[in-house]
Structure 1
Amino acid sequence: MMEETLFLTMNLIDRFLAVQLVIRKKLQLVGITTLLLACKYEEFNIIVPTTYVFMRQFLKASQSDKMLCLVEYAMLRFPPSILTAAAVFTAQCTLGVSREWNATCEKHNSSLECSKLLVSFHQKVAVGKLTGVHQKYSTSKYGNAARCEPASFLLEA
């Protein structure tokens, strides 16, 4: 399965749940159905610009490593292009690769607002009810990725 299929699946789930109330018991059915549709996207011509499409372009432009991420619900107010530019920039700041926007990211004015929101999520990731992913990626098996300090200086910008 292509990575883009996962992003299209999430997009279809979000769009369906925006117009149809689904009981929790049936949510898995919705998920598997949207996965099937996403796998068949070429046949049904239901391609939409997901964050993955923009992620590939911004990562290529910024000469960064390939990464995969899904969208936090609160981030849905940003278009995929802005979300992706902000995610790449925030990741570069977190890893100490950059502290300033490059020419590609400068085109998206609301990217800084989005980056600040990403940093605030990063600061809160180790606390709360859903810490399983944080614990998983805090192990050496996954390169201790979750132990990176957030780029808090972006909140002051």
Structure 2
Amino acid sequence: MTTRFRPAEPGEAPELEDLQSRSASHWGYPAGYFDWAGDARKISESYVCDNRVQVLVDDGGRRLGFYSFTENEDGLLLDRMFLDADQIGRGLGRQLWQHAVQTARELGVSEFRIAADPNAGPFYEAMGARWYGSRPTQEPTWTIQLYRFSVPGRPGG
């Protein structure tokens, strides 16, 4: 299978949100589990317009996964990284990661942060990210795991 990356288009925000939900189902979360998160899991057209969102597609144009970076006063955040549930375990996560690192390098940053699902922590650690804490949510059984990644080839990386 041949894959490539392309920028997300605002009109595909609903499809990216659906892909995100399918990806989360891989971890066995029941339907409605993330209702406590409110709009935090929504992907709007303005989110796609205002942030760097890259989509991994196959040679037929199927969306296999995507990632997004957001920026604020704390720097660059890898806000989302999701693979469609049927693509997990095929090496495409590493492809997403490598492209995200290259994007961060092109943005000129030496480090970015990651706010991750607890189940994704081992993946980020395997990619070289360093855990530095967790942040509670409204759901006491689910905490956001916080990581930092030093971008190779950048000052401080």
TM-score, length basis structure 1: 0.30
Which structure has the highest strand share of the two? Answer: 2
Which structure has the highest helix share of the two? Answer: 1
Tell me which structure has the larger Cα radius of gyration. Answer: 1
